[in-house]
Structure 1
């Protein structure tokens, strides 16, 4: 069975027992036993009888989109529960609004105390669900922002990171020749690090999504 194999941070490739042509649709199994349809892109390595391909998942939604939808649904469910508990906490509202004190020793004492305790517990649940909804909404927003982010796991990463590298090189050169002011003593060092990191990303992106190449990783 074809399997996912981690290639580098945030990038998974296909580990296969047989060779496939570019554009071939294959099935890969996750470590949880789920089967995912993917399109073969490039053969990037061949080792110990295994073939390693960069692949594009053929799912309607990306991982980030699925996470965003899941947390959005969770937020909606918790909001609905919060409203339900809030409404339930209105039990005996007309009576309680009169401010009638608990009559100790009266036959109504037990019911009166139970009513107050039930409503207090329901309001607590309402607040708890509201807080969970807020937390889920925040996570949904985070994953929605990640859904539009271009990573090395996407073919368009070549163009994206190449453009970023070009800008980073220009900025670094400007800091070195003095045409761009250094805002602090580490400006040049940070700019140099950014260039090195982007060069590495472009190198990986070209291997994954550019011309076919193999190595012995």
Structure 2
């Protein structure tokens, strides 16, 4: 059975018991038993009798599209919560015309039980309306997070190699510019931060090359 193996944060490669070549279609099985067809890209490593490959999903889903799906999923949940909140608010208006009169409960009267039950129903409905609204609000940060993720390129995508190479070239140029022109440094750590950015991007390019460089 071919499975997933974690390669880097948010990046998984295929762990296969047989050798494959670029373009082969294989089925990966998650730890929960879900099967997904993928297209083999690069051999990343061989270890303990297994072959580890980078891959692209045959269904076209990558990190960006999954992020978009996730954001939409949370948006739908929030919308449903808002809808339920509005419905509870509407139900809480049962016999509003009567309650607006401020008629006191007539203790001992045949209407006492009905009156108390009406007030209790409406009170419970308003409580539920508030709960659903809070639930909708709680998803706002999750929606924002996944919408932000949808704008990012990461190592799970073949285009990440070109992207990180481009970003590395920019980072190196900025670092060299700050070295030659100290007056451009905004603070005493500007050069250090610029060098750190170069180092980080060099690591990203190295990983992306293992995954997606056709000459690898």
Question: TM-score with structure 1 length normalisation?
Answer: 0.91
Cα drift, residue 148 of structure 1: 2.8
Whole-angstrom CA distance in 2 between matches of 1:136 and 1:207 = 37
**1:42 and 1:55 in contact (8 A); partners too:** yes
Cα drift, residue 104 of structure 1: 3.0
Work out which structure has the larger RCO, using CA pairs closer than 8 Å and 6 or more positions apart in sequence. 1
Question: Mapping of 1:102-181 within 5 angstroms?
Answer: 102-178=105-181, 181=184
**1:36 corresponding residue in structure 2:** 36
Whole-angstrom CA distance in 2 between matches of 1:116 and 1:63 = 46
Whole-angstrom CA distance in 2 between matches of 1:164 and 1:126 = 48
**2:11 corresponding residue in structure 1:** 11
Cα drift, residue 179 of structure 1: 5.6
Cα drift, residue 180 of structure 1: 5.6
Whole-angstrom CA distance in 2 between matches of 1:180 and 1:199 = 26
Whole-angstrom CA distance in 1 between matches of 2:182 and 2:207 = 31
Distance 1:90 1:60, change over 3 A: farther
**2:47 corresponding residue in structure 1:** 47
Cα drift, residue 212 of structure 1: 4.8
1:96 paired to 2:102: no
Counterpart of 2:130 in 1: which secondary structure? helix
Cα drift, residue 138 of structure 1: 3.5
* Structure 1, unpaired ranges of 5+: none
Whole-angstrom CA distance in 2 between matches of 1:204 and 1:180 = 35
Aligned residues: 213
Which has the higher mean CA deviation after the structures are superposed, 131-140 or 145-154? 131-140
Among candidates 172, 183, 190, match of residue 193 of structure 2: 190
Counterpart of 2:184 in 1: which secondary structure? coil
1:201 paired to 2:194: no
Q: Give RMSD over aligned pairs.
A: 1.6
Which has the higher mean CA deviation after the structures are superposed, 88-97 or 59-68? 59-68
* Structure 2, unpaired ranges of 5+: none
